[in-house]
Structure 1
Amino acid sequence: MTLAWVNQHLDVGERIVKTETLHGGMTAEMRRLTIGTEDAVTRHLVLRSFVDPFYMENAKDWLSREAGALALLAGTGVLAPELVAVDPTAAHCEYPSLLMTHLAGRSVLDNEGVETRVPLLARQLVAIHALRPAERPQEFRTLTTAESVVVPKGGDATAWAAAINVIRKPAPPYEGRFLHRDFQPGNVLFDVPPSSPTRARITGVVDWSQPSWGPADLDVAHCCTNLALLHDPAWGLRFAEAYEEAGGALATAASERLYWLVRDALSCSEEVELWAQAYQDAGRTDLTTSILERRLDTYVTGLVNALG
């Protein structure tokens, strides 16, 4: 069924000649399709399918939102895949699916060169937040509560108690921005010349399944958490600085910044094992659950001490 659906959206004379599984995603299966012609000309498409029953109940919403975001991003300065087709309810495919163009480049999660990539990530996020869509996406949602936070074994109880108390308070006022809502190194593609890592450049941003309207701090906080766990807790706060250096505006009060940074970090506490598995699938086999728990504890403690 899925093959027939994809074939309907190919040009005359084209056919699928190869499929490859793409690793690193937590919610959906990703496949790169090599499309060929009789003249041996090839191009690539990406098929995103929700096959896990746990995530499938959200597939219609996520795929519809991604299709809308890709249509919005076409023609902007933000490099993103082009939408080819979407079947959010599995009316034609075996599973809810989205077909899009393939972008060159790869996600880079290695420690080497992080000091070069962080400013690039910051500038890219500033460009995303500068978009002013004619129709706003839905308001952001956060599901973590004080009761759902999971304190890591051996974590600083005092710091975690203080952090949990932060999110018991109402969200601070904010100026709305167009948000990606999962902006992090795994969703940004780079071209990194092997002979010159310092000349790395971004080739695209992927996974637009949850575009939202909300505070820039929230997108920044999510990338901060990822950098803290991928590389070192110090890179968390460094990214917030880089975002401002790139022209981005964050909350002025330390207490307001702390709210968004802590809220994202605490949301990770519930899924550390899933994050570790995703990082390992993407090649960072050194990042075990216990290592991420220690880094998360250090990061949360550092946030409370620096901004609390």
Structure 2
Amino acid sequence: MSRQLKAGERIVGTEALHGGISAEMRRLTIRARDGGTRDLVLRTFVDVEHAEDSLNREAGALTLLPGTGVPAPGLVAVDPTAAHCEYPSLLMTHLAGRTVLDDEGLETRVPLLARQLVAIHALRPANRPGKYVALTTADTVVVPQGAHTAAWAAAIDVIREPAPPYAGRFLHRDFHPGNVLFDVAPPGQDGTRITGVVDWAATSWGPTDLDVAHCSTNLALLHGPAWGSRFAEAYEEAGGVLAADAGERLYWRVRDALAFSEEVRAVSRPWREAGRTELTTRAVEERLDAYVTALMDAPRRRTPGSAPSG
């Protein structure tokens, strides 16, 4: 840290930032000689597999984003191999705003989230990030206790099929309300806006459907299954382009939803820490079951083995 400070600056305060799963986050308050202060954020990967790749992806994204109109932290320094730090780490600027996970005001925030994701997908980097990682397989899905067995069996069959063809785009790959900062207007007033998008460690190249599916699943688990479908609609209303074939759309939505089955406990914990105490592991499993069932009940599956269009 001392190498990154300006002459006369020193660290006068630290604060743990909660809500993440894979990394430890700390806000560092820096004081200058004249008494002024600024904040930086230190992201530390402790005993995390593929930390070097994740930090290189994030550093690459934060280098790309200035001037694009996508609000993101500025890169200060990165140590992906822990050459200078105890653990692989990244130092970045601190952004104003806060994450908002409450049900109140969701009707306003969903279109903002959708427009922000469309803007991210519009980026055309000179150097593409690595291909997306699927995160689950048909053999690793964990069916929740008491789940609708037939719906889950059908969903698992969907992801046994080869991935549909797609037009590659720049993906955040972990875009959801927990990684978006808001400046929320007072009740009854307009002006709620996004002030930042954080956690670019999974930046990838892949189908827009996958990013939309990931945010949709998060919204379904946070606020109810209907919000998963609503986000996909909002994304298209904002000018985003998804797969033309309904079966292809289903593939990506199901693949992302089933990936959550393997990490419900890890996902729900930070939500409870953020104040959503009712979202117990069991409650989130029930919402995931309802969402997967709703996806499979919708008249959008293509026949297994048929050639996808597009």
Q: Give the TM-score band, short-chain normalised.
A: over 0.9
Work out the CA distance in 1 between the residues paired with 2:270 and 2:296.
Answer: 27
Q: 2:27 aligns with which of 27, 32, 35?
A: 32
**Residue of structure 2 equivalent to 1:200:** 192
Q: 1:286 aligns with which of 266, 278, 287?
A: 278
Q: 2:167 aligns with which of 175, 181, 185?
A: 175
The alignment's TM-score, normalised by the length of structure 2, stands at 0.95
Q: 1:220 aligns with which of 187, 190, 212?
A: 212
Work out the CA distance in 2 between the residues paired with 1:81 and 1:197.
Answer: 27
Q: 1:41 aligns with which of 36, 57, 60?
A: 36
Work out the CA distance in 2 between the residues paired with 1:68 and 1:136.
Answer: 10
Alignment of 1:75-154 (within 5 A): 75-154=67-146
- Residue 159 of structure 1 pairs with residue 151 of structure 2: yes
Code of the aligned partner of 1:15: R
Residues 213-259 of structure 1: CA deviation (Å, up to 9, x unaligned): 00000000000000000001100000000000000000011100000
Equivalent pairs, count: 300
* CA apart distance, 1:197: 5.9
Code of the aligned partner of 2:251: Y
CA contact (8 A) 1:45 1:100 kept: yes
Partner SS state of residue 238, structure 1 = helix
Q: 1:304 aligns with which of 282, 296, 304?
A: 296
- Residue 242 of structure 1 pairs with residue 237 of structure 2: no
Larger helix proportion of the pair: 1
Work out the CA distance in 1 between the residues paired with 2:190 and 2:22.
Answer: 32
* CA apart distance, 1:198: 4.4
Bigger mean CA deviation after superposition, 134-143 or 239-248: 134-143
Work out the CA distance in 1 between the residues paired with 2:273 and 2:75.
Answer: 26
Code of the aligned partner of 2:265: E
CA contact (8 A) 1:17 1:35 kept: yes
Residues 99-120 of structure 1: CA deviation (Å, up to 9, x unaligned): 0000000110001001100000
**Residue of structure 2 equivalent to 1:3:** none
CA contact (8 A) 1:189 1:202 kept: yes
Work out the CA distance in 1 between the residues paired with 2:276 and 2:68.
Answer: 33
* CA apart distance, 1:291: 0.6
Work out the CA distance in 2 between the residues paired with 1:140 and 1:273.
Answer: 23
* CA apart distance, 1:196: 4.4
Code of the aligned partner of 1:145: T
* CA apart distance, 1:38: 2.2
* CA apart distance, 1:11: 1.1
Q: Give the % identical residues.
A: 71
Gaps of 5+ in 1: 1-5
Work out the CA distance in 1 between the residues paired with 2:285 and 2:157.
Answer: 20
Partner SS state of residue 199, structure 1 = coil
* CA apart distance, 1:16: 0.7
* CA apart distance, 1:143: 3.0
- Residue 23 of structure 1 pairs with residue 18 of structure 2: yes
Gaps of 5+ in 2: 302-310
Partner SS state of residue 205, structure 2 = strand
* CA apart distance, 1:283: 2.2
Work out the CA distance in 2 between the residues paired with 1:90 and 1:282.
Answer: 30
The alignment's TM-score, normalised by the length of structure 1, stands at 0.96
